[in-house]
């Protein structure tokens, strides 16, 4: 045989052996046999003679030895786990240190089984070796157990299966393994054998607990239609149901219907032994199930039959109508509309509708209903399929709120010293102005600010509106200054002002450029006709030259406006510092002569002061 063919056959054999393991997928009976190895402290006792060929020790077992203990943590090389049996105190498990020679290490005859019946065998295993101890290197020799079920003569193997290799792990915990088998006709006993498939040596240490045998039947359920639970209202009773047993598989079965009023204690229903059952008219809650056996001889043995899933007929009380409805009146412009609600007992739910009967479902499973649409809504109490005799109305009334005109909120501009009249413009039963607290439809105000009016109608609904008042003050000139021929006007406070030098042409800028020297008048006014101010200003702007040629233009040197002052003095010198002329309010110009004769055409200097204390100095040219 070619190696590849041999390997393929070997894999098929191994896969088939593993495939033998598997739990009952159908209905299960009560355990016929269990072995949990007892409870207590210390080790032992030894198993009955013939149970194992391994030697019992009252301590840590060596290769080919076993003990009974309530923990696997007997030495520093094994994981520490309690026995697997739930709820017991100091429960014990079988601890096995596998022999160097593979083979049987446990056998047990199980009696009281039922003929022609399928059973499930199961047991819990754990690999006791802890790799973190590094006693064996790696995960140690894995455990590998073969389960065999033999007939009572031990001549016919009914079923076997291997666990496969289970390596050691520091996180190891109990794992359940199982397989199903069928008892032969005429036999009520089987022999369970467990064999070690693994090699002896470091590792291959295991614990076994909670061995069990129980009957295994096909999956079975009871339904009415497609449901395993039927609910009925007490106002719709009596009710009669056609129940049907649904069972998988094609093996022949025998049946016995049972009923119960508490779901715990069941009694047989005489004569009901088929797959279907028509109940009598019922007025109370009941449970139904079916006992199922593969042989009529097993029907009265609780270890030999299985049970279907139970069917529940559940009678529910009809709920009373919801109570304490909240009829709500609110304003249409409220930020939050209150919630409609009703009261029902605990365990009862509520559905809301838009009609007293029929209609549309609005909200389900809530005692509250929230809406901003006025109207009457109806609450129906629900308990499973049961509904209250009628629906309870709850009404939401929405009163209209006062409506201000749909225009921008008003802004009123007035002059300082005058008053603005603010008017509500809509009827109401009460008015409230803030600040101030006035309660009249209109108020007269003189101060700038935001005034808030709240109006309230006869139904108690309110609306608010803001009025803005702007007060314009007449401008006041704080100062006038110049930088050369550029004049700047400064006011004591800012506003919407216009500026002028002649009272006719106005500009928004407070700066004037290229202004001729002399006495000027500066004007400023509020653009809303709230008054103005003016001020005279002497713009001292000496000319850069003059031409005394008798043509009538620029024939003399003067500083415009000096004639309007009281005590101004400006002295003129030649280039050598010789005094030429003194300009005063009474003698305002120099005609370009010196001692009656024309002065030379050259540069001259001036220096002096004006009434305001302003000092001027500079030079100019005489041109001919």
- What three-state secondary structure class fits 234? helix
pLDDT band, very low/low/confident/very high, at 621 (cuts 50, 70, 90): very high
| Same-domain status, 486 and 429 | no
**The domain boundary residue, chosen from 352, 369, 399:** 399
Two tokens at 613?
A: 């204390």
The answer to the question of residue 181 being in a domain is yes
DSSP state of 203: B
Of the candidates 455, 458, 497, the residue with the CA atom closest to the CA atom of residue 478: 497
CATH number at residue 140: 2.60.120.260
The answer to the question of residue 377 being in a domain is yes
Range of the domain at 571: 545-622
Q: How many CB atoms lie within 10 A of CB 231?
A: 16
The answer to the question of residue 10 being in a domain is no
C-alpha distances out from residue 476 to 471, 483, 589, Å = 15, 21, 36
Q: Where does residue 572 rank: exposed (0-12), middle (13-18), buried (19+ CB within 10 A)?
A: buried
- What three-state secondary structure class fits 560? coil
Which pLDDT tens digit goes with each residue over 114-172? 888 889 999 999 999 999 999 898 999 999 999 999 999 999 999 999 999 999 999 99
**The domain boundary residue, chosen from 216, 249, 282:** 216
Domains identified in the chain, total number:
6
Q: What is the mean pLDDT of residues 50-55?
A: 93
Distance CA 343, CA 323 (A): 5
Distance CA 34, CA 611 (A): 130
| Same-domain status, 376 and 291 | no
Question: Could you tell me what percentage of the chain is helix, strand and coil, using 3-state DSSP and rounding each to the nearest 5?
Answer: 5, 45, 50
Pairing of strands 361-363, 340-341: unpaired
Cβ neighbors of 483 (< 8 A, separation 6 or more) are none
Residue with tokens 């041999």: 6
pLDDT above 50: residue 369: yes
Q: What is the mean pLDDT of residues 513-540?
A: 91
pLDDT at position 201: 80
Strand-pairing partners, residue 618, are 606
Contact 150, 156 (CB under 8 A): yes
| Same-domain status, 38 and 109 | yes
pLDDT above 60: residue 46: yes
pLDDT band, very low/low/confident/very high, at 84 (cuts 50, 70, 90): very high
Distance CA 619, CA 608 (A): 12
Q: What are phi and psi of 358, to 5 degrees?
A: 65, -135
pLDDT at position 345: 94
The answer to the question of residue 531 being in a domain is yes
pLDDT above 70: residue 4: no
Pairing of strands 449-456, 442-445: unpaired
Distance CA 68, CA 212 (A): 18
| Same-domain status, 434 and 299 | no
Distance CA 431, CA 447 (A): 20
| Same-domain status, 267 and 145 | no
Contact 501, 510 (CB under 8 A): no
pLDDT at position 18: 42
Distance CA 121, CA 33 (A): 9
Of the candidates 483, 431, 473, the residue with the CA atom closest to the CA atom of residue 453: 431
The answer to the question of residue 321 being in a domain is no
Distance CA 147, CA 77 (A): 27
| Same-domain status, 468 and 481 | no
Distance CA 111, CA 184 (A): 13
Two tokens at 484?
A: 């050369």
Distance CA 446, CA 491 (A): 23
| Same-domain status, 301 and 243 | yes
Distance CA 226, CA 207 (A): 45
Q: How many helices (H) and strands (E) does the chain have?
A: 1, 49
pLDDT at position 598: 92
Which pLDDT tens digit goes with each residue over 414-432? 998 899 999 998 888 899 9
| Same-domain status, 513 and 380 | no
Q: What is the mean pLDDT of residues 51-76?
A: 93
pLDDT band, very low/low/confident/very high, at 48 (cuts 50, 70, 90): very high
- What three-state secondary structure class fits 169? coil
| Same-domain status, 197 and 227 | no
Distance CA 581, CA 583 (A): 7
pLDDT at position 124: 97
pLDDT at position 101: 83
Q: Where does residue 62 rank: exposed (0-12), middle (13-18), buried (19+ CB within 10 A)?
A: exposed
pLDDT above 90: residue 112: no
Q: Look at the alpha carbons of 132, 135, 140, 144 in this order and tell me if their dihedral is positive or negative.
A: negative
pLDDT band, very low/low/confident/very high, at 571 (cuts 50, 70, 90): very high
The answer to the question of residue 418 being in a domain is yes
Cis peptide before 521 (omega within 30 of 0): no
pLDDT at position 218: 85
- pTM of the predicted protein model: 0.50
Q: What is the mean pLDDT of residues 366-395?
A: 95
| Same-domain status, 342 and 381 | yes
pLDDT at position 318: 94
Which pLDDT tens digit goes with each residue over 6-42? 333 333 333 343 447 999 888 888 788 999 999 999 9
pLDDT band, very low/low/confident/very high, at 478 (cuts 50, 70, 90): very high
CATH number at residue 360: 2.60.40.10
pLDDT at position 561: 84
Distance CA 355, CA 8 (A): 74
The answer to the question of residue 64 being in a domain is yes
| Residue 5 parent element (H or E) | helix 3-19
Q: Report the Cα 217 to chain-centroid distance in Å.
A: 48
| Same-domain status, 271 and 332 | no
Q: How many degrees, rounded to 5, is the angle at CA 288 between CA 283 and CA 289? A: 175
| Same-domain status, 334 and 433 | no
Length reported for the chain: 624
Q: Where does residue 324 rank: exposed (0-12), middle (13-18), buried (19+ CB within 10 A)?
A: exposed
Q: What is the mean pLDDT of the chain?
A: 90
**The domain boundary residue, chosen from 517, 539, 561:** 539
The answer to the question of residue 295 being in a domain is yes
CATH number at residue 616: 2.60.40
pLDDT at position 15: 36
């Amino acid at each position: 045989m070619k190696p590849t063919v041999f390997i393929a056959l070997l894999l098929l054999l191994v896969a088939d052996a593993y495939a033998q393991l598997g739990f009952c997928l159908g209905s299960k009976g009560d355990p016929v046999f269990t072995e949990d190895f007892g409870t207590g402290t210390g080790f032992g006792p030894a198993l009955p003679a013939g149970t194992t060929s391994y030697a019992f020790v009252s301590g840590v077992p060596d290769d080919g030895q076993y003990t009974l203990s309530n923990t696997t943590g007997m030495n520093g090389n094994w994981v520490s786990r309690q026995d697997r049996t739930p709820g017991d105190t100091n429960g014990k498990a079988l601890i096995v240190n596998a022999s160097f020679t593979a083979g049987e290490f446990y056998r047990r005859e199980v009696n009281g089984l039922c003929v022609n019946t399928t059973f499930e065998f199961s047991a819990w295993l754990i690999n006791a070796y802890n790799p973190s101890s590094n006693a064996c290197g790696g995960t140690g020799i894995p455990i590998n157990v073969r389960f065999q079920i033999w007939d009572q003569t031990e001549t016919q193997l009914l079923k076997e299966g291997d666990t496969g290799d289970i390596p050691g792990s520091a996180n190891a915990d109990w794992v359940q393994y199982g397989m199903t088998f069928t008892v032969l006709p005429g036999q009520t006993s089987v022999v369970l054998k467990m064999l070690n498939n693994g090699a002896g040596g470091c590792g291959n240490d295991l614990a076994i607990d909670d061995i069990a045998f129980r009957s295994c039947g096909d999956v079975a359920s009871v339904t009415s239609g497609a449901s395993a639970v039927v609910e009925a209202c007490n106002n719709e009773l009596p009710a009669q149901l056609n129940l049907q047993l649904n069972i998988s598989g094609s093996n022949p079965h025998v049946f016995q219907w049972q009923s119960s009023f508490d779901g715990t204690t069941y009694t047989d229903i005489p004569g009901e032994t088929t797959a279907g059952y028509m109940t009598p008219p019922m007025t109370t809650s009941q449970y139904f199930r079916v006992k199922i056996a593969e042989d009529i001889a097993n029907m009265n043995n609780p270890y030999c039959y299985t049970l279907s899933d139970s069917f529940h007929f559940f009678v529910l009380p009809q709920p009373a109508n919801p109570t304490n409805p909240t009829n709500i009146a609110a304003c249409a412009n409220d930020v939050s509309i209150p919630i409609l609600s009703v009261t029902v007992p605990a365990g009862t739910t509520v559905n809301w509708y838009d009609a007293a009967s029929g209609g549309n479902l609005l909200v389900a499973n809530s005692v509250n209903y929230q809406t901003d649409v006025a109207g009457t809504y109806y609450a129906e109490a629900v308990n499973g399929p049961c509904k209250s005799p009628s629906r309870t109305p709850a009404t939401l009334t929405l009163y209209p709120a006062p409506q201000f005109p749909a225009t921008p909120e008003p802004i009123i501009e007035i002059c300082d010293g005058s008053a603005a009249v603010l008017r509500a413009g809509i009827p109401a039963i009460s008015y409230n102005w803030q600040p101030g607290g006035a309660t009249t439809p209109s108020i007269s105000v003189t101060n700038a600010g935001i005034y808030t009016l709240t109006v309230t109608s006869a139904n108690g609904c309110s609306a608010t509106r803001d009025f803005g008042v702007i007060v314009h003050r007449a401008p006041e000139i704080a100062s006038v200054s110049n930088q050369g021929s550029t004049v700047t006007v400064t006011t004591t406070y800012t506003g919407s002002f216009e500026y002028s030098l002649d009272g006719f042409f106005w500009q928004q800028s407070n700066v004037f450029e290229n202004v001729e020297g002399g006495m000027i008048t500066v004007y400023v006014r509020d653009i809303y006709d709230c008054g103005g101010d003016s001020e005279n200003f002497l713009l001292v702007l000496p000319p850069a030259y003059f031409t005394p040629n008798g043509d009538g233009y620029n024939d003399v040197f003067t500083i415009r406006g000096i004639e309007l002052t009281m005590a101004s003095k400006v002295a003129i010198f030649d280039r050598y510092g010789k005094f030429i002329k003194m300009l005063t309010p009474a003698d305002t110009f120099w005609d370009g002569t010196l001692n009656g004769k024309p002065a030379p055409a050259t540069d001259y200097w001036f220096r002096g002061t004006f009434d305001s204390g302003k000092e001027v100095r500079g030079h100019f040219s005489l041109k001919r």
